[in-house]
């Protein structure tokens, strides 16, 4: 989970504790009544949706291509195909972020791993560089 979301959740929860969170305990009936701001429930639900939505974590990828304009999608697909032909064991991703098509490779958890891969591919892809990105979690086989 990225830091701004964590900070936002903590701020809203702490605000809820100060203003909208009260707890009433009745010793005679054995019940506990909690009054809290509706915002706390909304934040919890948003966090649950974020956790269910992605199996991502912060890491590194290598960008080997970026282009915009005419035929940029075709060029990006060609660059990705060329990379996968040479390095089929490394995952490649075609990404469109207006107005650019980009090809990013790898799911590196450490920058050192990304540097090793970059050194390996620099001869074929001299303009490649490391970027921090959300990466996919490794697949665990049963």
Residue 126: give its domain's CATH number.
3.30.70.1070
Q: Are residues 64 and 123 in the same domain?
A: yes
Confidence (pLDDT) at 85: 96
Rg (CA), the chain: 23
d(CA 70, CA 68): 7
Taking Cα atoms as reference points, which of 56, 60, 59 lies closest to residue 1? 56
Residue 36 domain-assigned (yes or no)? yes
- Which string of b and e fits 51-90 if b means at least 16 CB within 10 Å? eeeeeeeebbbbbbbbbeeeebeebbeebbebbeeebeeb
Q: Are residues 73 and 123 in the same domain?
A: yes
Q: Are residues 64 and 128 in the same domain?
A: yes
Q: Are residues 66 and 127 in the same domain?
A: yes
Q: Are residues 62 and 130 in the same domain?
A: yes
pLDDT band at 54 (very low <50, low <70, confident <90, very high): low
pLDDT at 38 over 90: no
Q: What is the pLDDT of residues 95-137, one digit of tens each?
A: 999 999 999 999 999 999 999 999 999 999 999 999 999 898 7
Q: Are residues 66 and 125 in the same domain?
A: yes
Confidence (pLDDT) at 48: 79
Q: Are residues 130 and 66 in the same domain?
A: yes
Q: How many domains does the chain have?
A: 2
Residue 140 domain-assigned (yes or no)? no
d(CA 2, CA 61): 17
Confidence (pLDDT) at 93: 96
pLDDT band at 6 (very low <50, low <70, confident <90, very high): low
More confident residue, 36 or 1: 36
Confidence (pLDDT) at 99: 93
Residue 47, domain extent: 3-53
């Amino acid at each position: 989970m990225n830091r701004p979301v964590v900070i936002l959740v903590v701020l809203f929860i702490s605000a809820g504790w100060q203003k909208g969170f009260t707890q009433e305990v009745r010793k005679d009936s054995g019940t506990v009544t909690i009054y809290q701001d509706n915002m706390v429930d909304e934040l919890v639900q948003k966090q649950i949706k974020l956790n269910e939505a992605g199996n991502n974590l912060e890491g590194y990828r290598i960008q080997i291509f970026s282009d915009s304009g005419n035929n940029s999608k075709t060029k990006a697909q060609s660059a990705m195909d060329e990379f996968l032909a040479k390095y089929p064991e490394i995952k490649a991703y075609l990404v469109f972020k207006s107005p650019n098509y980009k090809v990013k490779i790898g799911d590196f958890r450490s920058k050192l791993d990304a540097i090793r891969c970059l050194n390996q591919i620099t001869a074929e892809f001299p303009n490649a560089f490391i970027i921090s990105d959300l990466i996919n979690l490794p697949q665990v086989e049963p």
